[in-house]
Amino acid sequence: MNDKSNALEALKMINDWSKWLITIETGAIAIIGSVIRLDSVSSSLLAKVFASASIVFFLGSIATAALLLLSLPEIAQMLRPDENIWLTRDSIIGRVFRMGTQDFANFESFFFGAGMICFSALIITMIWTPTIP
Tens of pLDDT, residue by residue over 73-98, are 888 888 777 777 777 777 777 778 88
pLDDT (tens digit per residue) in 25-72: 999 999 998 887 765 555 688 888 999 999 999 999 999 999 999 888
Contact 57, 111 (CB under 8 A): yes
CA distance 87 to 105: 11
Rounded CA separation 62/15 (Å): 13
Alpha carbon separation from 104 to 15, 46, 61, 98, 122 (Å, rounded): 12, 31, 9, 10, 27
